[in-house]
Amino acid sequence: MLSIYNTLTRTKQPFKPLHEGRVGMYVCGPTVYGDGHLGHARPAITFDILYRYLTHLGYKVRYVRNITDVGHLEHDADEGEDKIAKKARLEQLEPMEVVQHYLIRYHKAMDALGVLPPSIEPHASGHIIEQIEYIKKILDSGYAYVSEGSVYFDVPKFNRDHRYGKLSGRNIDELYSTTRTLDGQSEKRNPADFALWKKASPEHIMHWPSPWSEGFPGWHLECSTMGEKYLGETFDIHGGGMDLMFPHHECEIAQSVAHNGHETVRYWMHNNMITINGKKMGKSLGNFITLDEFFNGTHPLLTQAYSPMTIRFFILQAHYRGTVDFSNEALQAAETALKRMTEGYRRLQELTPSETSTISVEGLRERCYEAMDDDLNTPVLIGVLFDALRLVNQVKDGKATATQEQIDYLKDLFQTFLIDILGIRTEMGGGEGTGDAMKPFEGAVDLLLDVRAQAKSAKDWATSDLIRDRLAALGFTVKDTRDGAEWSI
Ligand code: ZN
């Protein structure tokens, strides 16, 4: 049975969905003001694994991942201006043109990383009416107040009746003293109060009419509103990066309790952060690397390009609650490990069965499920797959034998856990459009190797070497084995 670590209770809990056979899951999506970077890749991949695994277990999953596109102040922003608006002003674009441009690029990068699209991808800008209605109800409940055209959530009042800070474990007195003085703070009764609606300043180009002012919704509000709209007043899983736990998710809890009188989310899940060479990633630190820069190796910190699958595999080699440190050395090690894995997967397809067997595949499948059931322990799962791979290589190298039944078992194991659940695309069979489309190409390479084998047996070394060298120049590795030659790219 699947157990997941619930950030709210700080324990691993058996996962029982609210409705039998169905799971509602919400993950905070990207703010589309720039190119996708590693910070986008980790939550997307983490919750893609959860989505894939729940689906594999037979649940009908409704996966909602929002698009933050109304333009908000980012709490860790390098510059303080609303980024979509600023970019639009500088480039004389319609704000939605900026959103569309980056959204297309984000989707492309996610697709390259093997991240499945969610069931619903709602835009904050498309749910202004719902957000206004949501604010009205919080005002009615008495946990918000209007101040100079803006609406603020009354944190001290909420904290007297409920507890603010339960998710992040923060103490409210601490919050009063550590909240930075930001623009517009004088409108607030308390520095810890947060905006539900902000009156737009004249230079703010994204704004909508509301009962309080021409303005825009606070950032935390879109997730409470759209989560409830698509998944209901109570739903199973809410995920996101650990950096969103406070204030974003804490504010979401406060909003939904003020709105509904009870909490909305049953399991909170947070993936840990990534670092680059041991340092936090940030534009001001010069180590902000976009996904495209990883894929084509153009950032000065990178010694080579890394394929999207290498990035995915590298992220999955760590448990999602652990940190991941990106460095060229670590990525190269992941690249080598992934190559061994996909190469083994290819060799598995070529195994010849024997009447008798000298290997045991017993318990491999159970160990895979055990790893995934233990809070999505992908590094342990990858370890089990490497154990299985050792058997494949022993049989392929003629050091052991396997029956047809065992070969089928192994094929099914890799198809389920490597391809379907870990979402690794291999050169053959994995992902869409690679299998059949590659067949003529693979046949042509095999033909060349057959010609080379004939040349070798005729002691025509010049032809044999020519084929090997030209293939090597094109990036093929040719390995001579007992039953002929094998190639890989
Ligand atoms: Zn969110």
pLDDT digits (tens, 9 = 90+) for 108-145: 999 999 999 999 999 999 999 999 999 999 999 999 99
- Sheet bearing 60-65, strands edge to edge: 60-65, 22-27, 235-241, 265-271
Residue 259, Cβ neighbours under 10 Å: how many?
A: 22
Is the pLDDT reported for residue 75 higher than 70? Answer: no
How confident is the prediction for the chain on average, in pLDDT?
90
For ligand 1, the distance from its centroid to the CA atom of residue 29, given in whole angstroms, is 7
pLDDT band at 183 (very low <50, low <70, confident <90, very high): low
178: which residues sit within 8 A by CB, 6+ positions away?
Answer: none
pLDDT band at 432 (very low <50, low <70, confident <90, very high): very low
**Residue 321 contacts residue 268 (beta carbons within 8 Å):** no
For ligand 1, the distance from its centroid to the CA atom of residue 75, given in whole angstroms, is 13
Q: How far is CA 271 from CA 43, 242, 310, 315, 322, in A?
A: 6, 6, 19, 11, 8
Domain positions in the chain: 11-269, 276-421, 434-488
Which of the residue ranges 183-197, 353-367, 388-402, 410-424 would you say has the lowest mean pLDDT? 183-197
* Selection from 236, 235, 264 nearest residue 252 by Cα: 264
3-state secondary structure the chain: CCEEEECCCCEEEECCCCECCEEEEEECCCECCCCCEHHHHHHHHHHHHHHHHHHHCCCEEEEEECEECCCCCCCCCCCCCCHHHHHHHHHCCCHHHHHHHHHHHHHHHHHHCCCCCCCECCEHHHHHHHHHHHHHHHHHHCCEEEECCEEEECHHHHHHHCCCCCCCCCCHHHHHHHCCCCCCHHHCCCCCCEEEEEECCCCCCCCECCCCCCEEECHHHHHHHHHHHHHCCCEEEEEEEHHHHHHHHHHHHHHHHHHHCCCCEEEEEEECCEEECCEECCHHHCCCCEHHHHHHCCCCCCCCCCCHHHHHHHHHCCCCCCCEEECHHHHHHHHHHHHHHHHHHHHHCCCCCCCCCCCCCCCHHHHHHHHHHECCCHHHHHHHHHHHHHHHHHHHCCCCCCCHHHHHHHHHHHHHHHHHHCCCCCCCCCCCCCHHHHHHHHHHHHHHHHHHHHHHHCCCHHHHHHHHHHHHHCCCEEEEECCEEEEEC
For ligand 1, the distance from its centroid to the CA atom of residue 272, given in whole angstroms, is 16
Is the pLDDT reported for residue 482 higher than 70? Answer: no
For ligand 1, the distance from its centroid to the CA atom of residue 225, given in whole angstroms, is 10
**Residue 309 contacts residue 424 (beta carbons within 8 Å):** yes
Which of the residue ranges 38-47, 69-78, 251-260 would you say has the lowest mean pLDDT? 69-78
- d(CA 334, CA 378) in angstroms, rounded, equals 14
For ligand 1, the distance from its centroid to the CA atom of residue 228, given in whole angstroms, is 12
For ligand 1, the distance from its centroid to the CA atom of residue 185, given in whole angstroms, is 23
Fold category of 11-269 in CATH = Rossmann fold (3.40.50)
For ligand 1, the distance from its centroid to the CA atom of residue 66, given in whole angstroms, is 7
pLDDT value for 436: 54
Is the pLDDT reported for residue 79 higher than 80? Answer: no
* Selection from 238, 229, 216 nearest residue 125 by Cα: 216
For ligand 1, the distance from its centroid to the CA atom of residue 102, given in whole angstroms, is 18
Is the pLDDT reported for residue 429 higher than 60? Answer: no
Tell me the pLDDT tens digit for each residue of 191-243: 999 999 999 988 777 899 999 999 999 999 999 999 999 999 999 999 999 99
Q: What's the residue count for the chain? A: 489
For ligand 1, the distance from its centroid to the CA atom of residue 144, given in whole angstroms, is 20
Average confidence (pLDDT) over 352-371: 97
Q: How much of the chain, in percent, has pLDDT values that exceed 90?
A: 72
Q: How far is CA 197 from CA 23, 137, 144, 325, in A?
A: 31, 13, 10, 38
For ligand 1, the distance from its centroid to the CA atom of residue 88, given in whole angstroms, is 23
For residues 88 and 443, which has the higher predicted lDDT (pLDDT)? 443
Is the pLDDT reported for residue 437 higher than 60? Answer: no
**Tokens 């695309």 correspond to what residue?**
425
pLDDT value for 341: 97
For ligand 1, the distance from its centroid to the CA atom of residue 82, given in whole angstroms, is 17
Which of the residue ranges 112-126, 266-280, 415-429 would you say has the lowest mean pLDDT? 415-429
pLDDT value for 288: 87
pLDDT band at 82 (very low <50, low <70, confident <90, very high): low
For ligand 1, the distance from its centroid to the CA atom of residue 106, given in whole angstroms, is 17
**Residue 41 contacts residue 315 (beta carbons within 8 Å):** yes
pLDDT value for 433: 39
For ligand 1, the distance from its centroid to the CA atom of residue 475, given in whole angstroms, is 44
Q: Is the peptide bond before 353 cis (omega within 30 degrees of 0)?
A: no
Instruction: Provide the residues around ligand 1 (an ion) whose CB is within 5 A.
Output: 28, 223
Which of the residue ranges 75-79, 177-181, 330-334 would you say has the lowest mean pLDDT? 75-79
**Residue 225 contacts residue 127 (beta carbons within 8 Å):** yes
For ligand 1, the distance from its centroid to the CA atom of residue 220, given in whole angstroms, is 6
Average confidence (pLDDT) over 273-277: 93
For ligand 1, the distance from its centroid to the CA atom of residue 440, given in whole angstroms, is 46
For ligand 1, the distance from its centroid to the CA atom of residue 300, given in whole angstroms, is 32
Average confidence (pLDDT) over 274-294: 88
Average confidence (pLDDT) over 146-154: 97
The pTM assigned to this predicted structure is 0.85
For ligand 1, the distance from its centroid to the CA atom of residue 249, given in whole angstroms, is 7
- Sheet bearing 150-153, strands edge to edge: 144-147, 150-153, 194-199, 215-217
Average confidence (pLDDT) over 368-376: 98
For ligand 1, the distance from its centroid to the CA atom of residue 207, given in whole angstroms, is 20
User: What CATH number was assigned to the domain covering residues 276-421?
Assistant: 1.20.120.640
For ligand 1, the distance from its centroid to the CA atom of residue 248, given in whole angstroms, is 6
Average confidence (pLDDT) over 84-106: 83
pLDDT band at 180 (very low <50, low <70, confident <90, very high): low
For ligand 1, the distance from its centroid to the CA atom of residue 223, given in whole angstroms, is 5
